Amino acid sequence: MNWLPGRDPNLQGMPSIPPPDTVAPASPPERDEPAPARGFDVPPWPAWTAPASIVLGLALGVFGTLIVQGVGHAAGSSLTHPTPAVNLVSDLVFDLAFVAAALYFAMLRSRSRPTDFGFRRVRPRLAIGAVLIAAVGYYLVTAVYSALVKLHGTDKLPSELGVGKSTAALVGAAVFVCVIAPMAEEFFFRGFFFGALRRVRIVIGGRDIGTWMAAVVTGILFGLAHTGSASAQYLIPLGFLGFVLCLVRWKTASLYPCIALHSINNSLALGVNQLNWNAAEILGLMLGSLVVIGAITGPLAGPRPAATTPG
């Protein structure tokens, strides 16, 4: 913690240089000492903006989706079975609505910076380690859950986007699922929402568990946000993924590892479950998606904080 030595009231009126062996000389300010966990990487917007952003995001998303579907219907698309193009634009508008809600509340009281959302550089070893540990933990828990409840079925979103109907639909779906959705959802859930909830202190047994509870709540809402695009039995693993991504965001103090893991997971799910691609093709999709994400979000990156492993 950066600090400056306080001034002793008993020294008022004394010479600026104390007599020898009378008053110890002031120590120089400490630098690069880790900040307290509760004050580390917490954005400036207040906690109440978290639920408010959900309400505003939903309102904007529903309104925007209705407009897109109305325009699509006028162009010949069915209201009950929209075309892949209408579904793609609707999903894009819905995700961007939550991004707009986050930006609105973040800018409401003060001018926020990209670093407040987590767009900051991170040491490669820390980022890769966090992604690997989180991915292994997530897939192990998902495997156990799958064996217990006998998961079946696939994600409905890619088929709604028409991945098997044309090359253009496949490209559009891949860009949305592996590039746009990870950026937009991580920006809202881990960049804005999780940060706002972390401002709430919950002390149990003398320990502040506010960050852990913020991760749990964010994970639950992240899973629920996929209602409709994923089967109900997949919402629990998705909720756990949301929780794990919060821990990655917290421990690395950066949003980039979260976006990367989200994109890798979506690329793997799309390539294996929907497209039946081989390992080389899936790896190409992952790397290509990460390159595009880096090109878009890289210019937003701010400097690393003095400490990147909060307590």
Contacting residues for 275 by C-beta, under 8 A, at least 6 apart = 163, 170, 281
Q: How many domains does the chain have?
A: 1
Read off the DSSP letter of residue 53: H
Neighbours of 26 (CB within 10 A): 12
Whether 306 is covered by a domain: the verdict is no
Percentages helix, strand, coil for the chain (3-state, rounded to 5) are 65, 5, 35
Whether 80 is covered by a domain: the verdict is no
Using alpha carbons only, what angle is made at residue 248 by residues 48 and 103, rounded to the nearest 5 degrees? 35
pLDDT tens, N- to C-terminus, the chain (311 residues): 444 444 444 434 444 444 444 444 444 443 333 333 444 578 889 999 999 999 999 999 999 999 999 999 999 988 888 898 999 999 999 999 999 999 999 998 778 899 999 999 999 999 999 999 999 999 999 999 988 887 766 677 777 887 878 888 899 999 999 999 999 999 999 999 999 999 999 999 889 999 999 999 999 999 999 988 787 888 999 999 999 999 999 999 999 999 999 999 999 999 988 888 999 999 999 999 999 999 999 999 998 766 544 44
Domain that holds residue 202: 118-300
Contacting residues for 81 by C-beta, under 8 A, at least 6 apart = none
Helix (H) or strand (E) holding 110: none
Whether 127 is covered by a domain: the verdict is yes
Whether 95 is covered by a domain: the verdict is no
Whether 183 is covered by a domain: the verdict is yes
Whether 296 is covered by a domain: the verdict is yes
Global confidence as pTM: 0.84
> How many CA atoms does the CB half-sphere of 142 hold within 13 Å?
19
Q: Which residues of 133-155 are buried (b: 16+ CB within 10 A; e: fewer)?
A: ebbeebeeebeeeeeeeebeebb
Direct distance between the N- and C-terminal alpha carbons of the chain, in angstroms, rounded to an integer? 12
Sign of the CA dihedral 221, 224, 226, 231?
positive
Contacting residues for 278 by C-beta, under 8 A, at least 6 apart = none
Whether 100 is covered by a domain: the verdict is no
Whether 10 is covered by a domain: the verdict is no
72: its two tokens: 């699509």
- Beta-ladder partners of 43: none
Q: Which of 102, 95, 101 minimizes the C-alpha distance to 184?
A: 95
Encode pLDDT of 252-310 as tens digits: 999 999 999 999 999 999 998 888 899 999 999 999 999 999 999 999 999 876 654 44
